[in-house]
Amino acid sequence: MKRGLQHCLLATFLLLCLITAAQAQGAAPQQHTVIAGETLALIAERYGVSVAALVAANQIADPNLIIVGQQLTIPAAGAGVVPSAFSPPDVIRVPLRPGDTLSRIARRYDVDPTEIMALNGIDRPRLIELEDEILLPVLPTYPRPFLAFTHSAGIVQGQTGVAAVTLANPEQPGGQFGEQTLHFVYRDKTRAGYRYWALLPTGALAPPGPRPLTVWVGETRVHSSVPILAGVYETQYIVLPPAKGELLQPARQRNELEILTQIWSTVTPEKQWRGPFRFPIAAGFLSTSPYGVRRSYNQGPVRSFHEGTDWSAAQGTPIWAPAAGVVVLAEMLDVRGGGVIIDHGLGVYSNFWHLSAIDVQPGQRVQPGDEIGDVGTTGLSTGAHLHWEIRVNGVAVDPLQWTTLGFPYAPMIAATEKAG
Ligand SMILES: [Zn+2]
């Protein structure tokens, strides 16, 4: 994701709170004592001022160098910030050199060319030759060993996002996304540093609004927040006759869910998949119930949603592994019927329910396209269909997103190469 957008969204969320806070308190000058893990960018965001305003107010020579215990004067709240819903990121103005091109400037200042174009209202790269100066975003700086930290600019309910960090040393980062513990994976070492990434899954009922994201290496922490954006999901109002309601058998459901939760919470450290997932069923079958449809039973509140995506298909239709992995469950379940679970590594699991036949065994390694079973209507099901569900760290996410993006998708990771 583009850092400019991320910055912009963050700034928007923070601004709304900070402007209100500033109005309540009046504009008395404030002092701030720098604590471990803070950067000028974080302090600026916290007080709703720009990095440039902080630098000016404190005559800071090197914005990358602030010291724990250092006293900073916080300029009047809102200084250097345009209080609008589309507040731009902090910018600096730099002169152009003869023969400068967009790509040359992007390389020199380590900024995404599309971000420069957006910031300067350039729609064709060659036009910058006519200007004599150009606006560049001021990228946040991070305490060592962090060299870069980036994440999805916003995540629509039900989608999976990505966080990525670049470190000066090969150390295992840890992280927290709301209530969730993150699993960072080492990717590679580039000129920029050691790169790690983690998945940020959200459910279809995740509360919209900013969700805190914290990443740490040892004692050093960096904080951000990711806007969770409302998704467009239908609501089904289901009326269950008393007899059918009893069929749901809460106790048996709970037992089954406990076994599954145990599986989903296990994180195997190797990523097994490559690129986008394939569809687990042949093209042309009717999608009867998409992921995320909200459900209200007997006029009750919406507390659950459809955790997978369904295709209506004749009994016996083959089901294929959508990506490489290891089978960890292959058995008949009370509620979900014939079930197969594939562990794709890193806490990512594909689940297939209501199968009439199972062709794999626990422990078996599968490749994309391998047949794992047949469509059926076993368990609590009213007609032959395939239910495919993807769990990431236990959260049921939209499986179709996984068929279009190869996680961790390239733009997220590319963004971390900018710093260093
Ligand atoms: Zn389903």
CA of 331 to the centre of ligand 1 (A): 18
CA of 386 to the centre of ligand 1 (A): 7
CA of 388 to the centre of ligand 1 (A): 7
For 299, left (φ over 0), alpha (ψ -120 to 50), or beta?
Answer: left
Q: Are the beta carbons of 309 and 349 closer than 8 angstroms?
A: no
Identify the pLDDT of residue 362. 98
CA–CA separation, 71 and 373 (whole Å)? 65
Q: How many angstroms separate the Cα of 327 from the Cα of each of 201, 228, 352?
A: 22, 32, 11
Identify the pLDDT of residue 8. 32
In the structure, what pLDDT confidence band is assigned to residue 317 with cuts at 50, 70 and 90? very high
Identify the burial level of 327 via C-beta atoms within 10 angstroms of its C-beta, where 0-12 means exposed, 13-18 middle and 19 or more buried: buried
The secondary structure of 177-209 as a DSSP string is ETTEEE--EEEEEETTEEEEEEEEE--TTPPSE
Which CATH fold would you assign to the domain 238-404? Glucose Permease (Domain IIA) (2.70.70)
Q: What would the two tokens of residue 55 be? A: 């630098």
CA of 289 to the centre of ligand 1 (A): 7
CA of 368 to the centre of ligand 1 (A): 22
CA of 312 to the centre of ligand 1 (A): 10
CA of 389 to the centre of ligand 1 (A): 8
CA of 407 to the centre of ligand 1 (A): 24
For residue 69, pLDDT beyond 70: yes
For 369, left (φ over 0), alpha (ψ -120 to 50), or beta?
Answer: left
CATH H superfamily, domain 150-231+407-415: Peptidoglycan hydrolase domains (2.60.40.1590)
CA of 157 to the centre of ligand 1 (A): 18
In the structure, what pLDDT confidence band is assigned to residue 21 with cuts at 50, 70 and 90? very low
Q: Are the beta carbons of 109 and 93 closer than 8 angstroms?
A: no
Asked if the domains 3-137 and 150-231+407-415 are classified in one and the same CATH topology, the answer is no
Which CATH fold would you assign to the domain 3-137? Membrane-bound Lytic Murein Transglycosylase D; Chain A (3.10.350)
CA of 404 to the centre of ligand 1 (A): 20
What does the domain layout of the chain look like in residue ranges? 3-137, 150-231+407-415, 238-404
CA of 396 to the centre of ligand 1 (A): 12
In the structure, what pLDDT confidence band is assigned to residue 241 with cuts at 50, 70 and 90? low
CA–CA separation, 402 and 346 (whole Å)? 14
Q: Over the stretch 169-211, which tens digit does the pLDDT of each residue have?
A: 999 999 999 999 999 999 988 887 899 999 999 999 999 999 9
